[in-house]
Structure 1
Amino acid sequence: MDILGFKSVSALRKAVKNGDSSALEFLELLNEFLKGGIKSEDITVRGKLDFLNYMNIQIGYLKHEEFKAIFLNSSNQIVLNETLFCGTIDRSVVYPRVIIEKAILSKAKGVIFMHNHLTPSKKDIELTLEMQELLDKVDVKLLDHYIISETENFSFYENGLIDYL
């Protein structure tokens, strides 16, 4: 993969940390997209790996914890991509009511959770299972929950912690 001349996401992330102007411009573009300033058709994500790399650039390198929700319509198009909660170095408070409200208001049929640290905690697993149950009650499927760090990604679905079929 080659992003702006960088051979990996970690190289791009390092360039952002070091203040490289082209890497910072790329990050600005991503942030503007997240705020709704760029339409989703302006950025193409080809498959899971591109999606994870895109998300990794956004939150994988942060020093504080962030919890994002990506809400999808019935065609799996992103209808809302939002950081719902920011936390401290190792924790953020997640309110299920806010997630349900966002899902209903965005008319989502599916949601993917993302947050950043190394491995899932017991609380992460409990929250994910609770949210899966609550979302099912309002006809929204929890498609996955990814934990992203600078070096690794963990999928609740791929590791058998959630099942949406």
Structure 2
Amino acid sequence: MKNILGVLGFKSVGALRKAVKAGDVNALEFVQLMSEFLKGGIKSENVLLKGKADLISYLNLQMGYLKHEEFKVLFLDSNNKIVSDETLFCGTIDRSVVYPRLIIEKAILSSAKGAIFVHNHPSGNLTPSKKDIELTLEMQEIFDKIDVKLLDHFIISETEYFSFYENGLVEYY
């Protein structure tokens, strides 16, 4: 990744993020291109999750710089391979309406055994709202009934994240 960034004139991922935030057209095009490539690669290649750090970097680059909220779900098979990576809901600068029925439908259609929720907070404040927590607990309860495990729910900013699992808001066994 550093070699690619160097060719593009960026010394680090942080420099790329700053250029994206500043509206640099080349940086924006690169991030959009990589995002589309990664979406396509994930969907067609069935990539095995290799670690949380790689996942968080991918999500930070894909969603962290957005000026509006988006809610995506990564659906996984029984081997924790991503079978579907879908942005299901787009919102405004501080909220997104999420419909549990659509999430359940997508989980069933993708034959998912696991799911990871991800949404961004354009403000940079990673504290989950009451609605974020309620939705997560509600969906975890519904997923348990249809034999799908909610593995985590991440809130993403440009450089950081909040994990519901790491903070005791999602439990699985």
Task: Tell me, yes or no, whether TM beats 0.5.
Answer: yes
After TM superposition, the structure 1 = structure 2 runs for residues 107-122 of structure 1, keeping only pairs within 5 Å, are: 107-117=111-121, 118=125, 119-122=127-130
Aligned position for 2:26: 21
CA distance in 1 between counterparts of 2:41 and 2:138 reads 29
**Aligned partner (choices 124, 130, 133) of residue 125 of structure 1:** 133
TM-score w.r.t. the length of structure 1 is 0.88
SS in 1 for 2:172: coil
Residue identity opposite 1:21 in structure 2 = N
Cα offset, 1:25, TM superposition: 2.8
Residue identity opposite 1:71 in structure 2 = F
Instruction: Give the conservation status (yes or no) of the 8 Å contact 1:9–1:53.
Output: no
- Segments of structure 2 that go 5 or more residues without pairing to the other structure are none
CA RMSD of aligned residues (A): 2.4
**Aligned partner (choices 93, 97, 102) of residue 97 of structure 2:** 93
After TM superposition, the structure 1 = structure 2 runs for residues 1-165 of structure 1, keeping only pairs within 5 Å, are: 2=2, 4-5=5-6, 6-17=10-21, 18-19=23-24, 21=26, 24-34=29-39, 39-40=44-45, 46-117=50-121, 118=125, 119-165=127-173
Instruction: Give the conservation status (yes or no) of the 8 Å contact 1:10–1:150.
Output: no
Instruction: Give the conservation status (yes or no) of the 8 Å contact 1:59–1:148.
Output: yes
Percent identical residues: 66
Deviations 1:124-146, CA, capped at 9 Å, x for gaps:
00100000000111100000000
Q: Return closer, same or farther for 1:58/1:156 CA change in 2, 3 Å cut-off.
A: same
Residue identity opposite 1:14 in structure 2 = K
Cα offset, 1:35, TM superposition: 5.2
Instruction: Give the conservation status (yes or no) of the 8 Å contact 2:89–2:98.
Output: yes
Residue identity opposite 1:145 in structure 2 = H
- Segments of structure 1 that go 5 or more residues without pairing to the other structure are none
Deviations 1:44-95, CA, capped at 9 Å, x for gaps:
8641111101011111111100000000000111100000000011000000
Residues matched between the structures, number = 164
TM-score w.r.t. the length of structure 2 is 0.84
Q: Return closer, same or farther for 1:38/1:138 CA change in 2, 3 Å cut-off.
A: closer
CA distance in 1 between counterparts of 2:116 and 2:110 reads 14
CA distance in 1 between counterparts of 2:66 and 2:28 reads 15
